[in-house]
Chains A and B, each alone.
Chain A
Amino acid sequence: MRSSGEVYDIQDTEYMKNLLNLIKKSDPVLISSVILILLIGCLTLYSASYQRSLITGKSYILTQVCWIVIGFIVCFVVISVPYKKWIAAGPYLYAAGLLLLIAVLFFGSVRGGARRWFTVAGVSFQPSEMIRFGLVLILSSYLGQRLNEKHSYKLIILGFLMAILPAILVLKQPNLGIAVSFLFITGVMLWVWGLKWKHFLTLLISGIVSVPLIWPFLREYQKQRIFAFLNPEKDPLGSGYSIIQSRIAIGSGEFWGRGWMHGSQNRLNFVPEKHTDFIFSVLSEEFGFLGASVLILLFVIFFYRCIKIALQTHDASARLLVFGMASSILYQLVINISMTIGLVPVVGIPLPLISYGGSNMLVVLAGIGMILNISARRTVF
């Protein structure tokens, strides 16, 4: 690993010093917003998993804190390696991700009818999270090096294929939410890259047109969820249950919230999947409109800083990288919140930095590490 070049060419003892230096040079506001979001997340998760812990005897909050710590270590590792090297490693990571996605379809463990996880020594992780990382890296390098080929259809189609390929594999698991996220991230990156309006619209329209083509491939429960989203009252105890109960939880939070650990919808288990996908409902019930808005505002600050970093860097690949990572987090945030208030169908997308779950926490923190990486090196030409 210790090759020549840039900041990396240093002695062991100076590694930590150098790392701290890098963090100092990166964006403190962004780091602060992330830490505050994590704090809110831990508080909410404690309340949401309290009873579950009593039953299962497993401390969800402790596990989550462990993942956060590991996530920070991963984050530091990401920062310490210059982003250019990461971009160079992109195709390999992407290919490895694809292989894992294929492997998980055969060897993955099944939970709730979906084959999404690898479980090693009691710890499970989702390869679909990892491929997102690879996808952003490969697209950054691919598009970043071809700034003058914006008219090339071949280029656009190839770029999009990079998203379609893992999307199809993830749909097989099935995981509609993540599959769509690949298309979203690619769309954002193509847009920032400078895709012509005409092409962008063509892609968008063909995307919309292809929705009915996807329909026959959806699982029955996915169709149910879409129907339930369109009319949740129709089956209030069945597929519409989650949406209705989630909305009740959010609405009954009112302005100030019912108080930490005092949400009745949460405590009495009316909110489904409340420590993972529906944790926003618990947060909104217990911390009210105030808490929910503070969380969204913290994310606004986070994205604002991301955009600032992107504008300050003059490396096109780095800029695309920031946007890829940020849009991956944005997608999760928007879809998750929209899902809990019934704006989009229920899809299994966790709330970034808040929901319980290791692999997502790792990928999100790694992504943030990549953004900080660029932030720390933005003045280095």
Chain B
Amino acid sequence: MNNRIKYFGLGIFLFLFTLIIILWHIQVLKNEKYLLLSEKNRIRLVPIVAPRGNILDRNGVVLAFDKHFFELVAVPQDLSKNREELKELAKICGVDVEYFHKKIKERFVAPFYPVVLLRDVELSKVIKIEEQNIRFPGIRVREVFRRYYPQAETFAHIIGYTARPTLLEILTTEEFITDEDWIGRSGLEKTMDDVLRGKNGGTQVEIDNRGRMIRTLSWKGPEPGTDIRLTVDAGLQEFGKNLLAGRKGSIVVLDCSSASILAMVSSPSYNPNYFVSSDNRVTEILNDRRSIMLNRSLLPYPPGSIFKIITAISGLDKEIISPSQTFQCSGSIDIGNHRVHCFGARAHGNVNLHKGITDSCNTYFVNIGKMIGVDNISTYARIFNLGSPTGIELPFEKGGLVPDRIWKKKKINEDWYTGDTANISIGQGYVLTTPLQMANMALLVANNGISFKPRLIKTETNQNKKVSILSPEVFLPLKGAMEDVVRRGTGRLAGGDGISVAGKTGSAQVDNNRSHAWFIGYAPVKNPQIAFAVFLEFGGRGGEEPAIIAKKIVQYWMENSR
């Protein structure tokens, strides 16, 4: 019996010793895990949303800001048991009390977490509620922000819009955001979201096992977002928008000294305020068959004749052609198995570079294009920053397309034909450019080879300057010709009335009956201040409406720039 007792005693000690080892494991080795879990248990954060930074134009006109609203909220744990006060409150607000009960049930997070009963409460009601606030325990009126875009449609494609974050975003965003935040969904609101958003603050509260707040542990104020100043001129943008009213197209105006964007209009446009207020008109916007949410300034289109500038420059710079060299034009030329007509099927006769540009002679450019070759043309197109996005501070920018032998082999698995070269030299075929790229091309010509990265956000210094390898002299004959395009050539409608503009028209054939219309250029001719591109989708001839629009833009700028 004695031995058994001893064994038994040993058993007890071993077992109790094991318990101590297990406790050591939980309390000392794994302590961090459990400490973290216990903190998670007891600490919650009631967020204080940081106001978003404003967006201003170059002159300080406000384009986007946080508008203040009043919200009626209820803190479930502080509501009286019978919820008598809700009835009275509902009377003041002019709603059914059941509506409040429904909201509290639907939006309940935790007893300490305020539930929004009513958004956009009118000031008169706010005053009424605040006057009697002792009678409404657990009820509070709080001020909230909502993004507002005073210019509505005018800046939609530049500024974009904001919306509430999705649950996934709330969970995955590294920064602390809540469902009361506004997150940029497109435009600058999207690309500059980090800067605009600021840092949310919050109140750390200790809660018990039923989620009731016990006390406040700490408070951290929100850091408001930073304001953003744009290079855009609100007046010019508005003017441009009105010029494009009812049409599909784009106007891009750049400041020649820095490639700052003075205006970037895309038409048709939408009202970004609809997204913010979760208006049901959002569906209308999304379902609009004109694709009004697309920023047409950043979409690739065939450039047509305005691309002849690239062909000309590559020939001149490579010294393959000279300005005086002439070609005979009979009104059309055969490319592969189809015939390309000159404008109006008119025979231009003896054509040199100057005449080729001013009259936009296809025959001339097909001929010199064949001499220059696709390799040269595509190389120069890239020197003109085509074929890749400009890197503007907007999302969804397209790079367009500069085709070459390698691209064609890879993409279509075909060799490059002379016909392809002929097509590209007049801006037809595979080549695609965006209106922004074309405005930037005009700027490069105006500056004799100096270009910049286009930008929307105003900064103190411009470090985006690019000097191309082109010799400045090659631009002289071209610029003279572009001056004459407006004076007596295809772009006459852009000139007159003392307006000094150089430009180039373009009509890019899309199918047998329709073509996109372009007009690009710069002004004034002697000392260029602005470069621009006007583009109309299925707009017919570049020398007609786009030229007229360009003239008005230049006119507006000359009258208002000082």
Contacts and interface: CB of A to CB of B under 8 A. Distances in A.
Interface of A: 188, 191-194, 245, 247-255, 264-265, 268-270, 284, 288-289, 292-293, 296, 299-300, 303-304, 307, 310-311, 316, 319, 323, 330, 334, 337-338, 341, 343
B189 interface: no
A265 B8 contact: no
Contact of B12 (A191, A248, A330): A330
Most chain B beta-carbon contacts within 10 A, residue among A188, A194, A255, A307:
A307
A253 B210 contact: no
Contacts of B4: 191-192, 194
A252 B210 contact: no
B31 A251 contact: yes
Contacts of A188: 8
A251 to B, nearest CB: 2
B42 A250 contact: no
Contact of B41 (A191, A270, A289): A270
Contact of B19 (A191, A193, A296, A304): A296
A250 to B, nearest CB: 5
20 contacts: A247-B26, A251-B30, A251-B31, A251-B33, A251-B38, A252-B37, A264-B41, A268-B208, A268-B214, A269-B208, A269-B210, A270-B41, A270-B208, A293-B23, A296-B16, A300-B12, A300-B13, A303-B9, A307-B12, A319-B1
A270 B209 contact: yes
B34 A252 contact: yes
A303 B12 contact: yes
Contacts of A338: 19
A250 B26 contact: yes
A69 to B, nearest CB: 29
Interface in B63-118: none
B206 interface: yes
Nearest to B27: A289
B31 A254 contact: yes
Most chain A beta-carbon contacts within 10 A, residue among B1, B22, B28:
B1
Contacts of B35: 251-252, 254
B513 interface: no
A270 B26 contact: no
B15 interface: yes
B1 A192 contact: yes
The 4 closest A-B pairs by CB, nearest first: A251-B34, A252-B38, A289-B27, A268-B208
B20 interface: yes
A191 B4 CA distance: 7
A248 B41 contact: yes
Nearest to B210: A269
B172 interface: no
A288 to B, nearest CB: 6
Contacts of A319: 1, 5
Contact of A250 (B1, B27, B41): B27
Given A188-B8, A248-B34, A289-B28, A268 B23 contact: no
B206 A268 contact: yes
Interface of A is mostly: helix
A154 to B, nearest CB: 21
A191 B16 CA distance: 20
Contacts of A194: 1, 4
A268 B207 CA distance: 7
B5 A192 contact: yes
A307 B41 CA distance: 44
B1 to A, nearest CB: 6
Contacts of A341: 19, 22-23, 26
A341 B30 CA distance: 13
Interface of B is mostly: helix
B2 interface: yes
A194 B1 CA distance: 6
Contacts of B208: 268-270
Interface residues of B, number: 35
Nearest to B26: A251
A284 B34 CA distance: 12
Contacts of B23: 250, 284, 289, 292-293, 296, 341
B24 interface: yes
Contacts of A316: 1
Contacts of A269: 208-210
B38 A307 contact: no
A164 B331 CA distance: 115
Contacts of A304: 9, 13
A311 B41 CA distance: 50
B15 A334 contact: yes
Given A304-B13, A343-B22, 16 more contacts: A192-B4, A192-B5, A194-B1, A247-B34, A251-B26, A251-B37, A252-B31, A253-B27, A264-B39, A265-B42, A268-B206, A289-B23, A296-B16, A307-B8, A311-B6, A316-B1
Nearest to B206: A268
A304 B9 CA distance: 7
Interface string B123-140: 000000000000000000
Most chain A beta-carbon contacts within 10 A, residue among B2, B27, B37:
B27
Interface in B417-432: none
Contacts of A247: 26, 34
Interface in B463-487: none
A191 B15 CA distance: 17
Contacts of B8: 188, 191-192, 307, 323
Contact of A293 (B2, B15, B20): B20
Contact of A311 (B5, B12, B34, B39): B5
Interface string B192-230: 000000000000001111100010000000000000000
A250 B33 CA distance: 11
Contacts of B42: 264-265, 268, 270
Contacts of A293: 20, 23
B2 A254 contact: no
B26 A337 contact: no
B210 A284 contact: no
Given A252-B34, A269-B210, A341-B23, A307 B9 contact: yes
B27 to A, nearest CB: 4
B20 A296 contact: yes
B198 to A, nearest CB: 32
Nearest to B34: A251
B38 A248 contact: yes
A323 B20 CA distance: 23
B237 to A, nearest CB: 55
Contacts of B31: 251-252, 254-255
A169 B234 CA distance: 88
A299 B214 CA distance: 37
Most chain B beta-carbon contacts within 10 A, residue among A188, A289, A319:
A289
B38 A265 contact: yes
Interface string B408-419: 000000000000
Contacts of A249: 38
Nearest to A253: B27
Contact of A255 (B9, B27, B37): B27
Contacts of B41: 245, 248, 264-265, 268, 270
A311 B38 contact: no
Interface string B32-49: 011101110110000000
Contacts of B206: 264, 268
Contacts of B15: 334
B19 A311 contact: no
A3 B307 CA distance: 128
Contacts of A300: 12-13, 16
Nearest to B33: A251
Nearest to B37: A248
A299 B37 CA distance: 30
Contacts of B27: 250-251, 253-255, 284, 288-289, 292
Contacts of B30: 251
Contacts of B22: 341, 343
B9 A250 contact: no
A227 to B, nearest CB: 22
Contacts of A289: 23-24, 27-28
